[in-house]
Structure 1
Amino acid sequence: MIDRLLLADLRLALAESSAVALLGPRQVGKTTLALTLGQERPSLYLDLESEADRTKLIEPELYLPQHEDKLVILDEIQRAPQLFQSLRGLIDAGRRHGRRHGRFLLLGSASIDLLKQSSESLAGRIRYLELPPIHAGEIGVERLNALWLRGGFPESLLAVTDAASLRWRLDFIRSYLERDIPQLGPRIPAETLRRLWTMLAHQQGGLLNAAALARALAVDGKTIASYLDLLVDLLLVRRLPPWHQNAGKRLVKSPKVYVRDSGLVHALLGVGDSESLLAHPVAGGSWEGLAIESLLACAPDGTESSFYRTSAGAEIDLVLKLPGQRRPWAIEVKRSLAPKLERGFYHACQDIDPAERLVVYAGTEPFPVAKGIQALPLCELCRRLIALREAKAK
């Protein structure tokens, strides 16, 4: 059992809100986390993919008030969006009886429909939390390479062998394309979406060029935009926006795009073991994606993330604007054990004047790279961000 960083946030959210929506891709560990929390208090778990449980909720206004003294966990809530309107009435009735917090925990794959339904019906009554795959802040250094290769989905990371892990990820991708995405409504050819997903994996961490993707897939730019929006909404792809606060420079305006789980990157590209990964051209981009996802998962709530790049070549891989801090953090990601910084990083730091200048690398010990610039192992920087996160929550 790997302790999840989000568990403390989930406890706090339930202590302060009537309903909490825990969103994330399928198989990321939402149900396990919810059931762990359910063991700490009286609770009722209902799986909306189960016909028996759906039958209980045919008349939710009659069934759920019987369990007003419990935390009601509704899994796969996107299967029954009509429940949101009923939950609003139950929450308001409970408030009149003194039951203001910790009523409902909703689990589901993040989708446009889910967010739209819940935000309209439960405005002011619900808080959203995102559960990412397991990241570097949740495991030790000794398992970091396994995390990089296999990704952070629990079944993949904890598989008996690398081959078993790869088979799980290939099945996961196939299931998403053929079953889960069609259930959400969009009629998208599975093979076209798989090709787009694979192309994004090949260009991991590259600037989005929608026109080139559209030409390669023989579709128009609007279609590419809608497909990409879907993958972003499902928390499978991240668009990292460019820094935009320096009007005096010619800044790159396109976002960088990452497949959010490194294990899915490798599965899409057919990379099944560490030796193949180290020899593959995507290795640098894949490591960068793992580092960025881990750091963002550990950062305090309200942190703004971007990258910095000018047409002249000044560049920073990740710029973090932490809540309450005026100056940002500049973070460069290197896979090398002896990282060297390009001139563009120094120029970029002159442009944005960061409070911290850091290099995340694949080693195990911190050391100074240059005056005012520190190299840190990925897990060490994750721990620093977690400490800030915990201090902010107090």
Structure 2
Amino acid sequence: MTYLNSHPDAKGFFGPYGGADLPPVLVDQFAAIEKAYLTLSRSADFINELRYIRKHFQGRPTPVSFLGNLSADCGGAQIYAKREDLNHTGAHKLNHCMAEALLAKHMGKTKVMAETGAGQHGVALATAAAYFGLECEIHMGEIDIAKEAPNVTRMKLLGAEVVPVGFGGRSLKEAVDSCFQSYVAQAEHALFAIGSVVGPHPFPMMVRDFQHVVGIEAREQFLDMTGRLPDMVAACVGGGSNAMGMFAGFIDDDGVALYGVEPLGTSSDMGDHAATITFGEDGDIHGFKTMVLKDKDGNPAPVHTVASGLDYPGVGPEHAYLHRTGRANYVAADDREALDAFYRLSRREGIIPALESAHAVAFALREAPKNPGKTILLNLSGRGDKDIDYVTETYGFDAGD
């Protein structure tokens, strides 16, 4: 039996991580979502409709690009990128948002709602809602609204209601809290389309499966380009959806080393980073068991990273499990490395990456010189249109020189 067919178990656990700790009012709703997903994911009509959408609306498959200039600069491993920045709306998020909205439609829901950090998930879900004629409600922290203004404009143009979240850290964790509170009163007619491989079961499994297309394509494309599998596969990790989508394509290939790149922020001190696996411990957050960054009182700790989409004190339960079993390696890149990678990829390859994706680029730049003769395939999970105003206004045009 393959890994994906055996994980998670019937209760949604990856080893000790995962599950669903729900308020009683939501137990039946999540059971209905799981039943609908397990039925529809085996339906030829559902699969064919999703394939049509991916090809004719999203523009899949996205290509794999050889980053020849960066590879030459590093003088070691050859660096390749899976170009999810070329997926419609500019990131991998649409892969699961179109599928979640299609699931909502089949369940008879009239609304989709979600949290967003950098705004990519919000834009993707607003796009899916427009496509299927559904209402859309997006919760976003006030800090991220100011930082990611272009994506806020896009969401509103697409017809979504954007709900500012002004309590606590006013970022991604609080956006999740706010959306859950709003969802409880609307669960009969709405689907909470969770934006990563986090949350109560079945969402970590569902989002991974919907993102698996990234890994399937990348594996086939890399083999076609090079005649072999990559030595190393890397992706940034906040909640971890783009990484799990990529990892899923290679997880049964023992010779491929998997690397999740967490945000180290500005230092290893509490509140200065969001590197959950690097510094966290086992705990509970948002209705599931995983690894969590905790403060001195055992509550989710404040977090920081230059990349709003990685600004979360937990991580997907499957990532916690892959860390525990040793199948995937988890490292970190700080804000300075991510910003340097942002500028270098822009100037040397003509590709402006999302700040989230720049963490994976930073890993490749760091590791390539140490691994001559090897290949690194990174998931370029999104484009940087949303970040260019913030980066240039904060750091200027010469920061990468």
Give the alignment's TM-score, normalised by structure 2.
0.31
Structure-1-length-normalised TM-score: 0.31
User: Which is higher, the Rg of structure 1 or of structure 2?
Assistant: 1
Whose RCO is larger (CA < 8 A, sep 6+)? 2
